Structure 1
């Protein structure tokens, strides 16, 4: 993984010193809150309902064990003993005191981390496939390109005050696991018929108030021009993006307003003056960056059946089926650690669990781990012969729930329990649904379902692309929930369709149950929930959900997570 050079260290140190002075002036009332706000946002610090929240950047979701342990240290010393992993592969801490934030940033710098690019109208943390570099279906490892983009975008003076936040994702595999279609820019690394490496470039994707799938603006861009072409896109957006209305400021609105053809024309015109600039990538530069991502010291191992000797262990078999993924190197597998144990807010990990995962990375995965945009963790390089031992250990820590890709593997934002922007709570609803459908055999029977939940229209929980999406809405000062079905991420991305009027919090578990009843009744053999929705449309699901009134009862977990 990438290591800071002397310039990185200097920049981060100087930023911390600058910020420490800003905090001191704020605490002494020399800076008003409106003056301090843009300064703290540049350092990842938000004000939420109860306390400050600090969001820390995890570039392209890649962590060393030392960096992971630092999260455990921060959770114990500065927070309430846990952290929350987000859909941008970052981590955030929700109970931070302002006076401690310069010390936290200093601690982070000691393990080559920071909180830059996690907030504000800048290019945010670059994301990618959590299995980058090890995926069995990977064309090209996208991580060196992610790192180039990270270095280029950090403190880029021209793009430090964009019309709105800007998100970029890169995928290098057959299957898109980076959700590139719902990003401002989505890049797919590929080879053309001549074997040359380049990118398919999508622009104008996004969720939030106006969910739109991105459009292909260029089918093949030679890799040397990744930065120059993105710079051309950014210049067009920075010039024409609206600054009078933040709800219409994203690039997706600009592309829709001027049309894809005209937008592409302006980008190509801008690119004409850029494509032979110093930002053009060279083989020497890519070789330098790629050297930070060497292959681990893999052993020559036979591919083995990890079930051998454990054929009667159903729990282990379920875990292998859902949480263990193919690896490009024989004898190895990638292991997903579920942060979705029923009764625990999705994406949360305690300091003890964080330290434990760091130890597991050292012991079984070359000291490295990943954060997924589904809010789980990954040990990317586990020997197949170690899988049973790994399962036993992670199970003891509550990290082995065999639900990856199933109903209770929910994406869920912190919602109204923490976020000042939220219209409704998310965590109690997630808890109630998880409790209702905790039976793992039932989950395996109904198969793959992505349930995504957001507490407000900003869509931090990616509800638009959930097979089942839940959006918290405010109705006459009360918390209600709008439900959509048929969303999808990946190669066949789709925006879900709202089934009808919203529901109260207490009705939500029954709503999900009724949706599943239709699926179980109507599905064909081997058909997933999404397939059934796409075949039948929304109508039969809507009809069954609203056929009879849904009683309001006690919401499981309401008191616990209030």
Structure 2
């Protein structure tokens, strides 16, 4: 993983002291709320419903055991003993004291972490596939390109005050595990007819009030031109994006208003001014950054492990976990382990300080001291020897981190909702608890197959409900929480937006409605057909008839 140089460290350290002085002046009354607003957002600090919230950057979801251990220390010392992982692979602390935030930032700087550009109208954390660099289906590791984008975009003066926040995702596999098509820019590593690897470039994706799937504006971009082309896109957006209405300020609105062809033409014209400048990436610079992501010193191991086979045969619980929570690794004898942050009754994405310490210890002992956070609000130990899986599972089980529910209904993406967020209209955590209580039979969930349920507490869609196979949106009706259901969304390579099933349902009806939806799926599906496939084949009508039959 990337390591700071002396310049990186100096910038982060100076930024901490700058914000310490700004916080002191605000608390002394020398800065107004409005003056402090922009300053705190530059440092990842929000004011939520109950308390301040600090969002810490985890670039492309990769962190060291030492960094995770520091996050555990911060949760224990400055918060209420836990943190919350988000869909952008960052971590949030929901209960820091404002006067202690500079101290938290100083502690983060000790382990090469910060909260810069985790909020505000700037280029946010670039995300990628949580199996990047280890998945067998990968064309090329996208993480070096994420790091190149990070170095270019962090504190970029021209793009510090964009019309609206800006998000980029990079993938290197045919399978899109980073929801790249619902980002402002999606970058797909592809191979052209000549055999060269470059990027397919999409723009204008996004969720929120106006969900849009991104559109391809360049089928092949040479690697050396990555930054110059991104720069051209950002310049066209910065000059033309709306600033008079924040709901119409995202690049997706600009692309829709201009038309994708006209937008592409402007980007290509702007690119002629940037492509042969210092933004052009040299082979030496690409090699330098790739040098931080070299393969680990893997052991030469056989593909089959007699010890593992014996453990799978003798322990059925371990066998189920192995099948649901581990994935193939490109190196023989290794597996990727998904650490579930979706306990039976607990906020999805939350993790306690002790659990963080445990995962850090496991990473040091079994996974080259690295951990990844995922778009799905889980963690990954990506480099575990097959012979060590049983030991890892045993520890994860002891600390409630081994629920074998990955890619099932209860592996939900859920925003914190009204309990924490000042923007939310409705609660979400009570609904996720109710769904878990209703569907606690893992055998039933396995029979249903892969289902992605996403839930948001407001139209801002931080829970990505638009692209859930089943989406749930909380809405306020005269002071009461109601929930709108959508079906048929996907954030993967077959990206699509869900369609509204019908009228919203009351909070206490949500589990029963989901039960009817799933019963309809079981009735309608063909052999080996996924939930999403069935919805796309038969449409909403059978589901609507089942859910709303009693209302007629």
Cα shift readout 1:360-404 (whole Å, capped 9, x = no counterpart):
000000000100010000000000111111111111111111110
- Tell me if structure 1 keeps the 8 A contact 2:426–2:482: yes
- SS of the residue aligned with 1:221? strand
Residue number in structure 2 paired with 1:341: 343
Alignment of 1:214-233 (within 5 A): 214-233=214-233
Distance 1:460 1:53 in 2: 15
Matches within 5 A, 1:234-313: 234-305=234-305, 306-313=308-315
Q: Could you say what secondary structure the match of 1:334 adopts?
A: strand
Measured after TM superposition, the shift of residue 474 of structure 1 is: 1.5
Q: CA deviation at 1:490?
A: 1.3
The match for 2:367 among 365, 368, 380 is: 365
Distance 2:311 2:282 in 1: 52
Q: Which runs of 5+ in 2 are unaligned?
A: none
Alignment-derived partner of residue 453 in structure 1: 455
CA distance in 1, matches of 2:83, 2:381: 18
After superposition, the C-alpha distances for 1:14-59 in whole angstroms (9 at most, x for unaligned) are 1111100100011101111111011000000000011000000000
Offset of residue 310 of structure 1: 3.2
Counterpart pick for 2:387 among 364, 385, 388: 385
- Residue 117 of structure 1 contacts residue 123 of structure 1 at CA under 8 Å; is this kept in 2? yes
CA contact (8 A) 2:431 2:507 kept: yes
Residue 533 of structure 2 aligns with which residue?
531
Maintained 8 Å contact 1:179/1:489:
yes
What does residue 432 of structure 1 align with?
434
Contact map agreement 2:311 2:390 (CA 8 A) in 1? no
Checking the alignment, whether the CA contact within 8 Å between 1:304 and 1:385 is kept in structure 2 is no
State the alpha-carbon separation in 2 of the partners of residues 478 and 358 from structure 1: 41
CA distance in 2, matches of 1:331, 1:14: 45
CA deviation vs aligned residue, 1:474-527 (integer Å, no higher than 9, x gap) = 122221111000001211011000001111111110111010010011111111
**Distance in structure 2 (CA, Å) of the matches to 1:418 and 1:187:** 33
Instruction: Give secondary structure in 1 for the equivalent of 2:422.
Output: coil
For residues 146 and 233 of structure 2, the distance between their equivalents in structure 1, rounded to whole angstroms, comes to 17
Query: Which of 512, 520, 523 is the matching residue for 1:521?
Result: 523
Cα distance in structure 2, aligned partners of 1:429 and 1:136: 37
Q: Is the 8 A contact 2:469 2:488 kept in 1?
A: yes
- 2:328 alignment partner, one of 326, 329, 334: 326
Q: Deviations over 1:76-115 (max 9, x none)?
A: 0000000000000000000011000000000000000000
Q: Is residue 311–residue 318 contact of structure 2 (8 Å, CA) maintained in 1?
A: no
User: How far, CA to CA, are the matches of 2:311 and 2:492 in structure 1?
Assistant: 36
8 Å Cα contact 2:176-2:492 kept in structure 1: yes
How far off is 1:195 after superposition? 2.0
Partners of 1:282 and 1:173 in 2: CA distance: 24
1:553 match: none
Query: Is the Cα–Cα contact under 8 Å of residues 343 and 401 in structure 2 kept in the other structure?
Result: yes
Residues 4-23 of structure 1 show CA distances to partners (whole Å, capped at 9, x for unaligned) of 01111111111111100100
Aligned partners of 1:289 and 1:163: how far apart in 2?
Answer: 30
The 2-side partners of 1:12 and 1:37 are apart by 20
**In 2, Cα distance between the equivalents of 1:286 and 1:32?**
44
Q: 1:315, CA displacement in angstroms? A: 1.4
TM (norm. structure 1) is: 0.97
Matched, 1:441 2:412: no
Query: Which residue pairs with 2:406 in the alignment?
Result: 404
Deviating beyond 6 angstroms after TM superposition, the runs of 4 or more aligned structure 1 residues are none
Q: Return the alpha-carbon distance in structure 1 between the equivalents of residues 273 and 303 of structure 2.
A: 52
CA distance in 2, matches of 1:127, 1:324: 21
Q: Of 386, 395, 418, which aligns to 1:416?
A: 418
Q: Helix, strand or coil: the match of 2:383?
A: strand
Whether the 8 Å CA contact 2:520–2:542 is kept in 1: the answer is yes
Q: Return the offset for 1:312.
A: 4.2
The residue that corresponds to 1:11 in the other structure is 11
For each residue in 1:308-347, what CA deviation from the matched residue of structure 2 results, as whole angstroms up to 9, or x when unmatched?
3431422112111110001000000100000001101000
Distance (whole Å) between structure 2 residues aligned to residue 261 and residue 225 of structure 1: 20
State which of 474, 487, 490 in structure 1 corresponds to 2:489.
487
Q: CA deviation at 1:549?
A: 4.7
* Other-structure match for 1:473: 475
Q: Distance in 2 between matches of 1:446 and 1:313?
A: 23
1:30 aligned residue = 30
Q: Counterparts of 1:278 and 1:457 in 2: how far apart (Å)? A: 41
Unpaired segments of 5 or more residues in structure 1? 551-562
Output the TM-score relative to the length of structure 2: 0.99
Matched residue count:
550
State the distance in 2 between where 1:375 and 1:341 align. 12
SS of equivalent to 2:310? coil
